Amino acid sequence: MEFIDRPIYTNRLEPFIDKGIIKVLTGQRRVGKSCVLLQMKRNIQQKNPDANVIYINKESDEFRDIQTEVDLSSFVKKKLIKGKKSYLFIDEIQDISNFENSLRSLQATDVCDIFCTGSNAKMLSSELSTYLSGRYIEFRIHSLSFSEFMEFHHLENHDETLKKYLVYGGMPHLSKLVLNDEIAFEYLKNVYSTILLKDVVSRENIRNVDFLETLVNYLSDNVGCIFSANNIHKFLKNQRVEISVNVIVNYLKALTNAYIINKVQRIDIKGLKKFEIGDKYYFEDLGLRNCQQHLEFSLDINKLMENAVCQHLRINNYQVYVGKFGDCEIDFVAIKTIQEYIFRWLI
């Protein structure tokens, strides 16, 4: 299998190999977690050809029988080779029930070095932190940065390339398709529907799917704006739609848990105190944002640029906040005053 290296992630993982800690790769579906996992597998095999590598891909029929923690432990134990260093790679581990119990046992006995991927933030953040506290480290994998987008699509750095990135986003598989509205958006709509159905509606037991889709559309129209669940509640009430504040908050959490959107919290830069006002929300991938609505590029350019800069900062492991500095209300970057320079900085 051929794939393009993403060293921004493999370089972060490298220092934790053979350190007795579980490496968990998280992120939205189809952002390339599996390929990063395979790159780590390849790197280890190149450095240690004698290593015993155990690989499980839960999206493959070959591993369909691994359904529970018992199945997982039994499979791994059969694959261990005495006298050889073993490495365990599991793709989409959330599809194995109670997997954390098996990982905890394998890590405690130090029989193999463990790498795994998962697509649901609620499952990983809550359950892993409870059952594997102190035993794992999480690495967030994002859709492509602008520089990665150029490499994947074999494009040069100019205005038309920038426009393509802002319109179609950074889902890696797009590099195998023709980059136009008809083909790219058809693919992105299917990815979006899969994420919404599997990682939001089914997993979170969402009942009001129509309102969930309305909420996503609202977030799309208001990228970078201060968001208040109370204001949305009042607006809907004026439209004679009864949706409680708690439902709105829970649906936002569900979308965040599936990595469709990212929340940027408000914080007082001087005292690092969170405000009790609204946060801001940005999309993990601009293509998924744009495929759901009629895109007016010239009208949306400020939103698209601000979302892209926020994504760039997250990709590079910056903590992103919005709030006040002194008496001035600021964003995480003065986006409207430096648009013409911003993507030179991103490269």
Q: Which of 38-52, 131-145, 201-215, 328-342 has the highest mean pLDDT?
A: 38-52
CATH T-level topology, domain 146-346: Arc Repressor Mutant, subunit A (1.10.10)
Q: Which CATH architecture has domain 7-140?
A: 3-Layer(aba) Sandwich (3.40)
Whether 338 has a pLDDT exceeding 50, the answer reads no
**Residue 16: both structure tokens together:** 């934790």
Whether 285 has a pLDDT exceeding 70, the answer reads yes
The residue-averaged pLDDT of 194-217 equals 91
Q: What is the pLDDT of residue 272?
A: 46
Average pLDDT, the chain: 86
Q: What is the pLDDT of residue 145?
A: 95
Confidence of residue 335 (pLDDT cuts 50, 70, 90): very low
C-alpha 200, offset from chain centre: 14
The position carrying tokens 């102190």 is: 134
The residue-averaged pLDDT of 60-81 equals 96
Q: What is the pLDDT of residue 276?
A: 44
192: three-class secondary structure by DSSP: helix
Q: Which amino acid is at 229?
A: A
Q: Which residue spans of the chain are classified as CATH 3.40.50.300?
A: 7-140
Confidence of residue 229 (pLDDT cuts 50, 70, 90): confident
Q: What is the pLDDT of residue 128?
A: 67
Q: Which residue spans of the chain are classified as CATH 1.10.10.10?
A: 146-346
**Residue 255: both structure tokens together:** 């979308």
Answer whether 125's CB lies under 8 Å from 256's CB: no
**Residue 104: both structure tokens together:** 């905890």
Whether 310 has a pLDDT exceeding 90, the answer reads no
CA gap 216, 211 in Å, rounded:
9
Q: Which helix (H) or strand (E) holds 12?
A: helix 7-13
Q: What is the pLDDT of residue 346?
A: 44
**Residue 248: both structure tokens together:** 């709105």
Q: What is the pLDDT of residue 94?
A: 86
Residue 52 DSSP symbol: E
pLDDT > 90 fraction of the chain, expressed in percent and rounded:
63
178: three-class secondary structure by DSSP: coil
Answer whether 195's CB lies under 8 Å from 28's CB: yes
* CA end-to-end distance (rounded Å), the chain: 28
Query: Which residues make Cβ contacts (< 8 Å) with residue 193, sequence separation at least 6?
Result: none
Is residue 125 packed enough to be buried (19+ CB in 10 Å), middle (13-18) or exposed (0-12)? middle
